[in-house]
Structure 1
């Protein structure tokens, strides 16, 4: 993706995407072929997994590996910047010339989201046979994230984009880790991580996200980008009306993500209520499968089905037949 505002080498910028895509697919191939798949099949043969969760286990492990790696890379590249998780500096001195390594981090994450959309729609990969009831919402979420990343990269809103990605990483890692323990029937650990995931969702995505990102983009972003422009003058190749539209598109994408956060948050709340009633995590609403049983931890408090009671008359007739044979 090119940068339209700052002076940059166009060829170098365009070359980032194919390099990042090739790296992400190669990283997945190495992990899935030589580590994840052999490990999961060995666990399945040893009966450590719930029935029918081989593909789900592989997918959850890969997401933990990928998101965990990107999260650590993000902390290394952006964590030392003054604007990191600081809403007062997201839009100051716009356009902000972020370090080249941060642009590489952003491009690797963009490639990961493209791969995730590919796997979700089964374009090039069919070995994660996991269908979801909320597939349409997931596709919308992926497309919105990709559009938000393209806009922020091209028009130098990367500071917000990086922080949004890393904020999402926290809940995603907790969720995928909870799934690992669900598929291996570790009830206590699955409950702990699911509870942590739910708590992080409401604190970070219902609280921190709208205040730190959406409110900042709506107020300080407008002041830094549009508010300082004068009618009729050209700024970075566009007039005031053009930059107003770009700001409005960027805020709209952030708002769509918030709507999806609220929607999934309501479903998670329903899941929490059911978990409290049952005592264990029964399934993950956000990735509920279609057409197949979840085979996730059942409520162990349920009594076993009673066996049919043999009548007294039937026992007497069997006893008589046995005596006659003797």
Structure 2
């Protein structure tokens, strides 16, 4: 048995008693094919190009028109030695390292600290850049959520989850559902591809884990023809994502009351969809109602990873609401709006 034949063995990908023969195309029925997910490569490229065009032709002019302005920041004087130190240790140097460098360069410690503060300021993302990124994600998530809602609301298996598994895996692919699936996969692939160039947030590591888990779940569930279940999971995620991005856009515009209202709406939708509906859907209607096999066990593992991330983000959200309501602190986006360097310039992250 060759490696490819072993990898695609039906016992791994399909429930007991089912084979790939059950998912062969016919004149009346078309089924998902593993090679279809390769369309996410040109899809991700196309979405990246579309994003660049959107940001330059729509988001940037709109942001400037609405008053989004980048703060003028002093430029650090060029210095090869200090630059080398900054690249190695400049973000979080210890006091003894600063003292040693100041002595080597015969610089007052205060002047060295000022240089490092200015140099870190140069690397902080501009407000307009953050506005453009959030505007793009808001636009995509909004379109994705309401497109998915329009696609799924009249499907009987959405309201009676037992129908998700009716005659599985012999469930013909609906073209619109297939394209919705591939669009979501392409988008998350584009997010991973642009991560090095995007604003680096405090939950950068968690974002990477989330994107990897999401791409794996979408790809595997497509190959195993679990599109009905997968589409409902994606819709639950999109339900709160566009509200979060809207809150960020309003934050950058300094429309504080609207921003606070959007954040409260986001918190309610996020917690109810990720901590209530998501575990109910994944555990009760997937774990308890579905036959276990290798791929379904793998899916369960990645669903658990997502749920742990949901709990982590929900904790941050609840913590922030507690500070806002009971302590009167100014709002910061505890989930992912605040960048790693923002702690040094709190004025930018105040609501």
TM range (shorter): 0.7 to 0.9
**Which of the numbers 271, 284, 309 marks the counterpart of 1:260?**
309
Q: Are the equivalent residues in 2 in contact too, given 1:132–1:289 (CA < 8 A)?
A: yes
Structure 2 contact 45–190 (Cα < 8 Å) conserved: no
Q: Which residue of 2 aligns with 1:245?
A: 294
Equivalent residues of 1:53, 1:295 under 8 A apart: no
| Residue in structure 2 matching 1:16, options 39, 43, 49 | 39
CA offsets per residue over residues 140-171 of structure 1, 9 Å max, x none? 01100111111100001111111111111111
The alignment status of 1:167 with 2:236, answered yes or no, reads yes
Whichever of the two has the greater Rg, that structure is 1
- Hey, what's the Cα distance between the residues in 1 that align with 2:54 and 2:159? 31
Q: Does 1:94 align with 2:94?
A: no
Q: Which structure 1 residue ranges, 5 or more long, are not aligned?
A: 227-243, 300-326
* Distance in 1 (alpha carbons) for counterparts of 2:301 and 2:226: 14
Q: How far is 1:266 from its partner?
A: 0.8
Distance 1:296 1:192, change over 3 A: farther
CA distance, structure 2, for counterparts of residue 152 and residue 198 of structure 1: 28
What is the root-mean-square deviation in Å for CA atoms of aligned residues? 2.7
**Structure-2 change in CA distance of 1:85 and 1:23 (3 Å):** farther
**Which of 197, 206, 211 is 1:142 aligned to?**
211
Alignment of 1:70 with 2:144, yes or no, is yes
Aligned to 1:184: 253
1:29 counterpart residue number: 52
Q: Are positions 1:204 and 2:273 aligned together?
A: yes
2:334 corresponds to which of 285, 291, 296: 285
Distance 2:186 2:243 in 1: 22
C-alpha contact (below 8 Å) 1:61/1:176 kept by paired residues: yes
Could you tell me how far apart the structure 2 residues matched to 1:209 and 1:89 are? 18
Contact kept? 1:170, 1:200, Cα under 8 Å: yes
In terms of fraction of residues, the more helix-rich structure is 2
Q: TM-score, normalised by structure 1?
A: 0.75
Which of 264, 267, 270 aligns to 2:319? It is 270
Q: CA deviation at 1:13?
A: 2.6
Distance, in Å, in 2 between the alignment partners of 1:186 and 1:280 is 17
Tell me by how many angstroms 1:91 deviates. Answer: 2.0
User: Which residue of structure 2 lines up, in the alignment, with residue 110 of structure 1?
Assistant: 185
How far apart, CA to CA, are the structure 2 residues paired with 1:298 and 1:13?
45
Larger RCO: 1 or 2 (CA < 8 Å, sep 6+): 2
Query: Which residue number corresponds to residue 24 of structure 2?
Result: 7
Aligned residues: 270
Structure 2: tracts of 5 or more residues without a match: 1-7, 14-19, 72-124
Look up the match of 2:262.
Answer: 193
TM-score when scaled to structure 2? 0.70
